Amino acid sequence: MTLKTCILIGAPVDSGKRRRGCLMGPDAYRTANLAETLTDLGHKVEDRGNLAPAPHNGDQPDHPVHAVNETIAWTKALSDAAEAAMSEGFPIFMGGDHSLSAGTVRGVANHAARENRPQFVLWLDAHSDFHTMESSDSGNLHGTPVAYFAGRDGFDGFPSVTNPVPEDHICIIGLRSVDDAERAALQDSHIHRHDMREIDEHGIAKPLQAFLDRVAAAGGMLHVSLDVDFLDPDVAPAVGTTVPGGATVREAHLVMEMLHDSNLMTSMDLVELNPFLDTRGRTAKLMVDLAASGLGRRIFDRVTRSY
Ligand code: MG
Ligand code: MG
């Protein structure tokens, strides 16, 4: 197993939606022993504490987009931190709501461009987060990062996306809540997307392996963004956007185990954990267990792949 230097970066971003609580996410991961768990697997782990947004002028409460200036300030801080951390190890961003991925993916994509390697993104989520500021009815920016880092228009005031992730380098798995505007935009795009019905019918390994094969063939770097609502709310209740019918514990572990076996993953976000909604820390613990599977925890060593 390849041992890594895991760089834990707390991103207590709570500006991407109105319901508060994700700012407690980083400390919930610490309390659930994320660093100790990865250390036990043999990795070197550095917890760099929490980031803060860049200075900004504050937000108008009646602005149609919620806390837009704060989210822009977070995007700048996270992008710089992500780009810097990529040359030092394997960054794990402890969120924070999903708007943080506007910054993390912008940053890792800048790093990949400097290394002359293509950037890929695996988005594990009930939602496609493919809105722009114009198409979003809710005005919640946690529903927009994919459109942002794919280089779509409609993000005035945000740092420009110097190295957009090409649409066909993005794969979304777990979809089960997509509104009309997003559906139209997705159908018009080259984003690879797999909804829960497809997973029910054919399993989760097949679309994931097909995507990983493409990443490997291209010599790509792979950012994985894990939204708590990818999981079924029965096993992961600590999220403000629960949608029934999500991935099971085993489906989620299989994804992470295959990611580890592929040796392709180069950075990761753990997002949307709202500890205020959790039941005795079970969601935080499950997310830590999933991160551990992604970084090499296994029941038995396998000589050959099991899928
Ligand atoms: Mg999301
Ligand atoms: Mg979601």
Ligand nearest to the CA of 243: 2
**Does residue 301 fall inside a structural domain?**
no
Angle (CA) 185-208-148 rounded to 5° is 35
The alpha carbon of 302 and the centre of ligand 2 are apart by a number of angstroms equal to: 33
The alpha carbon of 32 and the centre of ligand 2 are apart by a number of angstroms equal to: 22
User: Token digits for 98?
Assistant: 């999903």
Residues 6+ apart with CB under 8 A from 10: 26, 27, 30, 47, 48, 49, 50, 51, 94, 96
Indicate yes or no: pTM above 0.85.
yes
Ligand nearest to the CA of 177: 2
In this structure, what CATH number is given to the domain that contains residue 106?
3.40.800.10
**Does residue 42 fall inside a structural domain?**
yes
Q: How many helices (H) and strands (E) does the chain have?
A: 10, 8
The alpha carbon of 230 and the centre of ligand 1 are apart by a number of angstroms equal to: 8
Whole domain around residue 38: which residue ranges?
5-294
Provide the 8-state DSSP code for 55: P
The alpha carbon of 151 and the centre of ligand 1 are apart by a number of angstroms equal to: 18
**Does residue 14 fall inside a structural domain?**
yes
pLDDT at 306: 54
**Does residue 91 fall inside a structural domain?**
yes
Contact between 189 and 133 (Cβ < 8 Å): no
User: Token digits for 291?
Assistant: 């991160």
pLDDT tens for each residue of the chain, 307 residues long: 889 999 999 999 999 999 999 999 999 999 999 999 999 999 999 999 999 999 999 999 889 999 999 999 999 999 999 999 999 999 999 999 999 999 999 999 999 999 999 999 999 999 999 999 989 989 999 999 999 999 999 999 999 999 999 999 999 999 999 999 999 999 999 999 999 999 999 999 999 999 999 999 999 999 999 999 999 999 999 999 999 999 999 999 999 999 999 999 999 999 999 999 999 999 999 999 999 999 999 887 766 655 5
**Does residue 158 fall inside a structural domain?**
yes
Ligand nearest to the CA of 229: 2
The alpha carbon of 40 and the centre of ligand 1 are apart by a number of angstroms equal to: 29
Count of domains forming the chain: 1
Residues 6+ apart with CB under 8 A from 7: 46, 48, 85, 88, 89, 90, 91, 92
Residues tagged active-site: 98, 125, 127, 129, 142, 227, 229, 272
56 CB burial (10 A radius; 0-12, 13-18, 19+) = middle
Q: What is the pLDDT of residues 268-283, one digit of tens each?
A: 999 999 999 999 999 9
**Does residue 300 fall inside a structural domain?**
no
Q: What is the pLDDT of residues 165-176, one digit of tens each?
A: 999 999 999 999
Q: How far apart are CA 120 and CA 213, in angstroms?
A: 12
